[in-house]
Amino acid sequence: MTKLMQAARDQGLPASIIQLSFLKIGVSFQSTGATNIFCVNNLVSARLYSSTKSRGQVDEKRHWGIEQNEAQVLYLSTYWGVDNTDHMINNTNVRYITWKYWHAPYQHAKAMGIIAAYDVYNECCDGLLNPSWKVDQKNRMTFTIFRQMLGQQMLEYDPRKRCYVSRR
């Protein structure tokens, strides 16, 4: 029996659900809010538990209990990544005014592609993929310069040659 099936049995779910090959858990953080998380096979349970939080120093130190579950902890520990990506999408400045509603998802996808390319560039510069590619942090291109280089490469690209001009 898998961990998920054991968790389902522990939560008192019917045998017909336990026989499924997946476990879907839905968690709503607030009844009036729009933050709902639905997970398939990645959370063992959605049971509530309490943990201790503390703030302050020495004489002014305060302690209190907070009720949470695995989905809330997962959300609170990873939502910064969504905010960071959204900020970088805004920094790409991939925008133009159009009445065609289907251009917005295209612009968004293009901006995400630029961000992914910059992430790959940084990963290559770390030198973990190939030690000869290592570039010190102070010598790396900033996101703005990287975006400008992509634009310049796009303008210089000749489809007849099928080769991008490389610069060092």
Long-range contacts of 139-143 (CB under 8 A, 24+ apart): 143/88, 143/91, 143/118
**3 state DSSP class of 105:** helix
Regarding whether 76 and 35 lie in a shared domain, the answer is: yes
Q: What is the pTM of this model?
A: 0.56
Mean pLDDT, residues 10-39 taken together: 70
**3 state DSSP class of 22:** coil
Regarding whether 102 and 151 lie in a shared domain, the answer is: yes
Of 23, 49, 83, the one marking the end of a domain is 83
Give the model's pLDDT for residue 132.
Answer: 94
Regarding whether 29 and 77 lie in a shared domain, the answer is: yes
pLDDT exceeds 60 at position 92? yes
Select the more confidently predicted residue: 27 or 106: 106
Regarding whether 9 and 68 lie in a shared domain, the answer is: yes
Weakest mean pLDDT among 19-33, 36-50, 68-82, 104-118: 19-33
Regarding whether 118 and 51 lie in a shared domain, the answer is: no
**How many domains in the chain?**
2
Domain holding 103, by residue range, is 92-156
d(CA 151, CA 148): 5
Give the model's pLDDT for residue 128.
Answer: 92
Select the more confidently predicted residue: 11 or 89: 89
d(CA 24, CA 133): 43
Greatest mean pLDDT among 3-12, 21-30, 130-139 lies in 130-139
Give the model's pLDDT for residue 18.
Answer: 57
d(CA 93, CA 79): 23
Regarding whether 69 and 137 lie in a shared domain, the answer is: no
Instruction: Give 59: exposed, middle or buried? Use CB within 10 Å, 0-12, 13-18, 19+.
Output: exposed
In a domain? residue 162: no
Confidence of residue 120 (pLDDT cuts 50, 70, 90): very high
Alpha helix (H) residue ranges in 11-140:
15-18, 70-91, 103-125
Regarding whether 69 and 13 lie in a shared domain, the answer is: yes
Dihedral angle of Cα 89, 91, 94, 97, to the nearest 10 degrees: 100
Select the more confidently predicted residue: 94 or 146: 146
Give the model's pLDDT for residue 137.
Answer: 92
**3 state DSSP class of 156:** helix
